[in-house]
Chain A
Amino acid sequence: DQQVKQNSPSLSVQEGRISILNCDYTNSMFDYFLWYKKYPAEGPTFLISISSIKDKNEDGRFTVFLNKSAKHLSLHIVPSQPGDSAVYFCAATHPNQGGKLIFGQGTELSVKP
């Protein structure tokens, strides 16, 4: 049972435009959501997170939106840059779960110059 789903395996965007990566979840107990970015041959690196008590969190070019009623979150990257090309993973966690994250399958973003 895939509790966190990223239905788009890939996304291609022109440099300077907005990239929107989507993520859906099924478990209403999730209270914290994160986005990680992964380059080939490297481990994932933390990008941005959001608590379930918020509906938006912004950090520079990256904004995460959370719609709890729809159990949906999205990551917006504006403006997109070629260096943003990577695989983006959405992750979620329950309270008191420590280092246990439930990840989506990832979306490969390609930003073309």
Chain B
Amino acid sequence: KAGVTQTPRYLIKTRGQQVTLSCSPISGHRSVSWYQQTPGQGLQFLFEYFSETQRNKGNFPGRFSGRQFSNSRSEMNVSTLELGDSALYLCASSSSGGINTGELFFGEGSRLTVL
């Protein structure tokens, strides 16, 4: 069974640009969550999509947005990039979004560097 796939793995952008990251969940998984990891901050929850609907949202500015397609693939977009957006962006999928069995499966992440 293929794992969670994130593309691109690495990318470099400049301030003011926008970026789109993609996540393909494990086949059959309907929930996709996005997290940002920065040094010293751990992983911070961005948002979760379930059946094409945003189900949960973290405390990030509106420059961060996402969507989910009918095949459960998800994209997140960051507009007007700032230096502080440099981070590892992780996508996680689960069959229902339930946590009770620790069933979040993470991808390897997309490393974004903003210059």
Contacts and interface: CB of A to CB of B under 8 A. Distances in A.
Contact of B106 (A41, A43, A48): A43
B26 interface: no
A6 B96 CA distance: 28
Contacts of A44: 43, 90, 106
A25 interface: no
Contacts, number: 81
Contacts of A46: 102-105
Interface residues of A, number: 28
Interface in A41-65: 41-49, 51
Contacts of B102: 34, 46-49
B70 interface: no
Nearest to A6: B42
User: Which of A34, A41, A89, A98 lies at the interface centre, i.e. has the most chain B CB atoms within 10 A of its CB?
Assistant: A98
A69 interface: no
Given A41-B108, A46-B104, A49-B102, A99 B43 contact: no
A34 B42 contact: no
A18 interface: no
B12 interface: no
Interface of B: 4, 31-33, 35, 40-45, 48, 50, 55-56, 58, 90, 92, 94, 96-109
Interface of A: 4, 6, 32, 34, 36, 41-49, 51, 89, 91, 93, 97-106
Given A6-B42, A98-B33, A103-B45, 12 more contacts: A34-B99, A43-B90, A43-B106, A46-B103, A47-B102, A89-B42, A98-B99, A99-B31, A99-B92, A99-B97, A102-B45, A103-B44
